[in-house]
């Protein structure tokens, strides 16, 4: 379909959106053009999820939606009413790191840290999917997460260590 010039739709007022954010029910007033990523960062104050490319190419915005890893930059917030969202802020059990977080520290699986929240949530999702059993599987499963520092070998090692301990 062509991108013809049409009068823009009148801006729609914000509507109430309730979802489960890191285990707690949360309600926001949200306009249609707010992505899940912008909701998390700018409305909920959860800036752990990063805006890298904002176009679905880098994986820095990865979160778990109902336990499955997905890109929050390509999702409209309003489409996630009632969903359970897990961000990096909600992954640890109190002061005890999630095993994937602990493994990233143990294996020095980051340098600047910008891609790390997305890497960790993607790894948690990939392990749960059951297709991160070998080095090749891990590399394939993690191909949606870019690391400009090139920490890839240590990221693979961290995920493999979590896999072995399971």
Partner 1 sequence: MRAFEYVVAASSAAARTLAREVDGARFYAGGTTLVDLMKADVERPRRVIDISRLPLAAIEQRGDVVRIGALARNSDVAYDARIVLHFPAVSEALLSGASGQIRNAATIGGNLLQRTRCSYFRETRWRCNKREPGSGCDALDGFNRGHAVLGTSDSCIASYPGDLAVALCALSARVVVEGNDGERTIALDDLYVLPGEHPERETTLGPGELITAVELRAERLHERSHYLKIRDRASFEFALVSVACAVELDGKNIAQARLALGGVGTVPWRAREAEAALTGAPPGEAAFRRAAETALTGARTRAHNAYKVELAQRAIVRALRSVCGTGA
Least CB distance to partner 1 at residue 96 (A): 26
Nearer to partner 1, 42 or 108 (CB): 42
Asked if 86 is part of the footprint of partner 1 (rule: CB under 8 A), the reply reads no
Asked if 142 is part of the footprint of partner 1 (rule: CB under 8 A), the reply reads yes
Place of tokens 């109190």: 94
Nearer to partner 1, 79 or 105 (CB): 79
Least CB distance to partner 1 at residue 95 (A): 28
Binding-site member from 141, 155, 157, 162 for partner 1 (CB under 8 A): 141
Tell me the H-state helices in the chain: 36-38, 99-106, 116-129, 135-141, 152-165
Handedness of CA 58, 52, 81, 20 (dihedral sign): positive
Token pair of 87, please?
Answer: 């961000």
Asked if 143 is part of the footprint of partner 1 (rule: CB under 8 A), the reply reads yes
Token pair of 5, please?
Answer: 């010039």
Asked if 2 is part of the footprint of partner 1 (rule: CB under 8 A), the reply reads yes
> Which residues here bind partner 1, judged by CB under 8 A?
1-4, 6, 8-12, 32-33, 35, 54-56, 59, 62, 65, 68-71, 73-76, 78-79, 122, 125-126, 129, 139-145
């Amino acid at each position: 379909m062509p991108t013809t010039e049409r009068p823009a739709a009148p801006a729609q007022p914000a509507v109430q959106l309730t979802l489960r954010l890191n285990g707690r029910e949360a309600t926001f007033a949200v306009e249609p053009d707010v992505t899940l990523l912008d909701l998390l960062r700018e409305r909920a104050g959860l800036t752990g999820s990063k805006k890298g490319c904002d176009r679905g190419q880098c994986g820095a915005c990865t979160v778990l939606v109902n336990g499955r890893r997905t890109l929050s930059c390509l999702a409209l917030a309003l489409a996630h009413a009632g969903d359970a969202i897990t961000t990096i802020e909600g992954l640890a059990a109190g002061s005890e790191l999630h095993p994937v977080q602990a493994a990233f520290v143990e294996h020095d699986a980051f340098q600047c840290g910008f891609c790390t929240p997305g890497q960790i949530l993607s790894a948690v999702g990939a392990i749960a999917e059951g297709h991160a059993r070998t080095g090749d599987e891990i590399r394939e499963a993690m191909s949606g997460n870019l690391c400009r520092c090139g920490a890839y070998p240590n990221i693979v090692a961290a995920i493999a260590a979590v896999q072995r301990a399971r």
